[in-house]
Amino acid sequence: MKTQQLSIASVGTEIGFGYTRILQGLPLAALVTAALLILMERLIFLADMPIDETPPLKFPNVHWEQPVTETFKAEKIQKPIKPLDPPPKLQPQDHRGDKVQISIPSIPVRVDQTHAINAGFGANLPIAQFLVQPRYPANALRKGLEGFVDVQFDVTEIGTTDNITVLGAQPQGVFEKAAVAAVARWKYQPKKIDDKPVRFEGLSNRIRFEMQK
């Protein structure tokens, strides 16, 4: 008897728990149902809306043209023109051809005038072997200047000139440099004493600068 009562009580308890669960699930079911209704209404609204018709895309008309083939004719190659005869070569003008006179006294005069005067004709003196003509200064050539330079120098044992000095010049400051440069290149046969070459001091010369007329 007691066992039947316990079974009925447990069944009642289970039924009570079942109703409780159903009652707890009702709000969730209501929310799901409401959501479904709203979703269906939205879908119906969207289905009734007119669809905007998008205009069809227009593509540009593209015309393909047949490529044109151009033909070029080769031009006739002209024969090279025969070059004219070259002009005759002009001979360069050398102003050094202007007359430059070098006055060389027959008896050189030493610094010591008395000794020079007493030197007899044919005395054993240096003999000129190679006298370089000076260059006519370009400035004097343009201006048409003429003149002279008196120089004094020594002759060494080997025949070269040394200790060159300018004694005088006319006009001054024009021909001196050219005269000294020329004398520096002169060559002599040196004086000999007992067949032995010795230094000779005090030779003097006048170098004239005159234009050819």
What's the average model confidence in pLDDT over 128-142?
A: 93
- Other Cβ atoms within 10 Å of 190 Cβ, number: 19
The three-state secondary structure class of 114 is: helix
Is the pLDDT at 164 greater than 90, yes or no? yes
Of 103 and 179, which is predicted with more confidence? 179
Per-residue pLDDT tens over the stretch 186-205: 999 999 998 899 999 999 99
Contact 159, 188 (CB under 8 A): yes
pLDDT for position 101? 55
The confidence band for 34, taking pLDDT boundaries of 50, 70 and 90, is confident
Sequence-ordered alpha helix ranges (H) in 49-137? 113-118
The pLDDT-based confidence of 27 (bands split at 50, 70, 90) is confident
Q: For 69-125, how does the pLDDT look when each residue is reduced to its tens digit (9 = 90+)?
A: 555 454 555 555 665 566 566 555 554 545 555 554 333 333 333 233 334 455 678
| pLDDT bracket for residue 41 (50, 70, 90) | confident
| φ, ψ for residue 164, nearest 5 deg | -80, 130
For residues 156 and 93, which has the higher predicted lDDT (pLDDT)? 156
Nearest to 140 by CA among 68, 209, 188: 209
pLDDT-based confidence at residue 20 (cuts at 50, 70, 90) = confident
The one-letter amino acid code at 104 reads: I
Task: Choose between 142 and 114: higher pLDDT.
Answer: 142
Report the pLDDT value the prediction gives residue 207, as an integer from 0 to 100: 95
Beta-bridge mates of residue 205: 151
Task: Kindly report the CATH class assigned to 95-209.
Answer: alpha beta
Looking at every residue in the chain, the average pLDDT score rounds to: 74
171 prior amide bond cis, ω within 30:
yes
| pTM across the whole model | 0.46
The rounded distance, in Å, linking the Cα atoms of 121 and 22 is 171
Among residues 128, 36, 140, the alpha carbon closest in space to that of 98 is found at: 140
Conformation bin of residue 137: beta by default, left when phi > 0, alpha when psi is -120 to 50: beta
User: 110: which residues sit within 8 A by CB, 6+ positions away?
Assistant: 116, 119, 201, 202, 203
